[in-house]
Amino acid sequence: MQLLKDKILSDGRLLDGYVLKVDNFLNHQLDVALLDAMGAEFARRFAGVKVDKILTVEASGIAVAVMAARHFGNVPVVFAKKTESLTLDQDAYESDVYSFTKQKTYRVRVSRRYLAPGENVLVLDDFLANGHAACGLIDIVHQAQAEVVGVGIVIEKGFQSGRKLIEEAGVTRVESLAILSSIADGKIAFA
């Protein structure tokens, strides 16, 4: 998706030469027009796929998932919560997810009320690097005896093992809007 690649190059920042920050348009401040275009692109790429729900993880995946849901006929969006809460049903699907950027493991949870057996679930997230978040969501969908119809990623670090891990989890349909082939010497290259 050229619009996204251009935005990464113009507004993305590299920290320590290898950590891509896109907080000024994707995961802190939101570029709503860009999010809407990304949602339309996910709908185009998954055209013909029956999607009953979109699943993501809090917090950065929520905006992407909500905008995409509009283009899938306003299907419900469910997000896995990273923190325990008195308001979260105790009867929940759970999976442990390691966050590279936070350097910690989270237990993510989805109430059993919001994923049902047989539902067709599209997993969406903002980044794919090592694949732990996506695989945690895939695990939750499998626990619910629902079907993962695909994984959509905004920015994939193609030089890391995330896609391979997702495919090993049994998901063959992975669509990334921008795939980075490298981040080296303070420069970003796309696949």
pTM metric for this prediction: 0.94
Confidence label for 191 from pLDDT (cuts 50, 70 and 90): very high
Q: Are strands 120-128 and 147-157 parallel, antiparallel or unpaired?
A: parallel
> Residue 98: its pLDDT value, please?
85
Report the largest interatomic distance among the alpha carbons of the chain, rounded to a whole angstrom.
48
> Residue 23: its pLDDT value, please?
94
The token duo for 153 is 């990623």
